[in-house]
Amino acid sequence: AQSVTQLDSQVPVFEEAPVELRCNYSSSVSVYLFWYVQYPNQGLQLLLKYLSGSTLVKGINGFEAEFNKSQTSFHLRKPSVHISDTAEYFCAVSSSNDYKLSFGAGTTVTVRA
């Protein structure tokens, strides 16, 4: 079984400032890692994913994340946020032998002008 811990429940940030959202996972098997974004009253949308290969993955809307196997982390970053990045962000993990996604508790990002 796998699990995900998102270390920050709320992250306030000013417009054009950088942001980092922290995610740690645990699993006894190889994993795939994902970040999803949920805008108010919407479903979840994939930002980026790590399956294999380069540990730095780039996603949509200028986001990127780095997979660190030794620290079992997959932190999400954006160098300069916009007001429109205000949303809830979920880190998720699935194992190499099924498609089930296990989600973290989510991090609410609020971008202020």
Partner 1 sequence: DAGVIQSPRHEVTEMGQEVTLRCKPISGHNSLFWYRQTMMRGLELLIYFNNNVPIDDSGMPEDRFSAKMPNASFSTLKIQPSEPRDSAVYFCASIQSGKLEAFFGQGTRLTVV
Q: List residues binding partner 1 (CB under 8 A).
A: 32, 34, 36, 42-46, 49, 51, 90, 94, 98-106
Q: Which of 10, 13, 11 is nearest to 113 (CA)?
A: 13
The least distance separating partner 1 from the CB of residue 45, rounded to whole angstroms, comes to 7
Residue holding tokens 């971008």?
111
Which residue, 58 or 79, is less far from partner 1 as judged by CB?
A: 58
The minimum distance between CB 72 and partner 1, in angstroms, equals 19
Residue 26 has which token pair?
């645990």
Measured between alpha carbons, how far is 44 from 62 in angstroms, rounded to an integer? 17
C-beta of 38: minimal distance to partner 1 in Å?
9
